Every structure is written in C-alpha cells, then in structure tokens.
Chain A
Amino acid sequence: MATRTTLRVLYQDTGSNRGGYNIGYCNPDATDAQLKELGQRLNALTTNTFMGVQRTDVTDITTAEFEYTLTAEEPRVTEEPIMPVFAGSGSYDATLAFNYELNAPAGYFEDIDVTRSQNTNDFAVSMSKTSSYVAGQYTLTAYLTRNGAQVSNRAETVIALS
C-alpha cells in the first residue's frame, strides 16, 4: 500500500475571516509536529493568526501499481546466520531504501544486517539468535521506499525457531 499525505494550513485573517491554503504533497513519514511547524513558519510570513494544519493521508490499496516487487523466499533457520532472502524485481536505483520490520521481542535476535545482491537485486537480511530467544514463529516484513513513500509490496516471511 502506498500512502500519500497532503497538507493544508488554516488561518484567521485580521478581519476574523477563516481560510486555508494548500501546500500539497508532504512526506508521509513527517510527524504531526513537523507539519505543524511548517504551517507556523509559513504563517509567520503573514498577518494571519495560525489556526492549525489539516493533514490528509490517502492510502492506495490497489495491488498492481508498485514499481518494485519483493518475493519472500523460505528462510533457512538451521544454520547461523539466519538469512531470509527477498527476491526483487524492478528497476533498482540508489534512491530506494530497504525497510524491514521484525515482529519479535527485543533481544531475541542480534547482528541484523541487510545486503543487496548487485546482480539480482535480491535483499538478504542476516541475523543471529541470541541466547535468550524463545522458540516460536516470528514474522519478518520487508518493503522498499523512496523519500518515505512505499514503492513496493510488503513481503512477509516467517522465521520458525525451535
């Protein structure tokens, strides 16, 4: 899913008329506090009273518009390091950022590192179990972003530890 965020600055003029103006697309990773500060800095250029900002997040849930596709391969868990691989298809460039989310309690894994195959655009997430891990199933989710906007599907794989 790709999320687009737009921003509108709200104000009241010296005649007590309320209005607003659009800033357009903003980084979906921007916090509310950052967006508010942008609105305040722009408002400081004016005689208006700042009334806040209006943030709109639109999430696109269609599935066929990603420019890059990640496919999770079955992870090998019997040897260290554990190295789930996400096979990539699409045009890779340096503006893409690889992101992962590991649904496991802190302290179960260590030495987590990401490498990308120059030839195949596959991504490997290597990690090791710590001595305090607990047997169970843990989900690793990977996706690509560019300037904070998601540009690939979210690919999931399950790491089953016994």
Chain B
Amino acid sequence: MFDIQMFGANDTITASNTVDIVAGFVDGDTRTFKVPNPRSDLTSSDIENVDTWIAANNIIIGDRTGASSTGINSATLVNTMKTRLDLT
C-alpha cells in the first residue's frame, strides 16, 4: 500500500488570476484575451464600461474578415493554481 502525498515539502505551488474577456465581431467571430491580475473588487459595471467603449470605437477587429467588434460577449474571472511536483 502507498500513501499518495498531494503536496511534498519541495513541491512548488503557483497561483494566477485572470479575467478572460471574450470579444465578439459582426461576422460571428470571437476572440478571448486573458487580462492578468484583475482587481479583487472588479464588477460587471467595470466590464460594461470597457464593452461600451470597444463597441463604439471599432479598435478591435476580427481575425477572419476584419469585421467590426460588437463589444464584449462575456468576462470570466479565472483562478488557476498549479503545483509542480518535486520528482527529485
């Protein structure tokens, strides 16, 4: 019988946070960009303000046909924890 030890003394644990923003385009294309280290007090209103600006200014264009942006389709806060196991 073996005991499985999840975290060894020499394992390395790293954590990262992103807000994954999905932008949409008039031709149906979408694109996700990951913005690192979102504020802990981030609200949907903050995202909607960026959404409004992106939709109004036509700065981001689609990959497929260069279509105009329709703004932000969704935004997701993503917390990732990685454990690098020490194999030595």
Contacts and interface: CB of A to CB of B under 8 A. Distances in A.
A44 B35 CA distance: 10
A29 to B, nearest CB: 9
Q: How large is the interface on B (under 10, 10 to 19, 20 to 34, 35 or more residues)?
A: 20 to 34
A27 B60 contact: yes
Contacts of B37: 11, 13-14, 46-48
B88 interface: no
Contacts of A148: 58, 61, 66
A23 interface: yes
Given A34-B57, A42-B50, A45-B50, A24 B38 contact: no
A46 B63 contact: no
A115 interface: no
A38 interface: yes
Contact of A149 (B42, B46, B59, B61): B61
Nearest to B67: A147
B58 to A, nearest CB: 6
Interface string A26-40: 110010001101100
A11 B36 CA distance: 9
A19 B36 contact: yes
A11 B39 CA distance: 14
Nearest to B65: A146
Interface in A103-145: none
A25 B62 CA distance: 7
Interface of B: 19, 21, 31, 33-40, 42, 46-47, 49-50, 53-54, 57-63, 65-68
Interface of A: 9, 11, 13-14, 19, 21-27, 30, 34-35, 37-38, 41-42, 44-48, 146-149
Given A21-B36, A38-B53, A147-B65, 13 more contacts: A24-B33, A25-B62, A25-B66, A30-B57, A37-B53, A47-B40, A48-B36, A48-B37, A146-B65, A146-B66, A147-B61, A147-B67, A148-B66
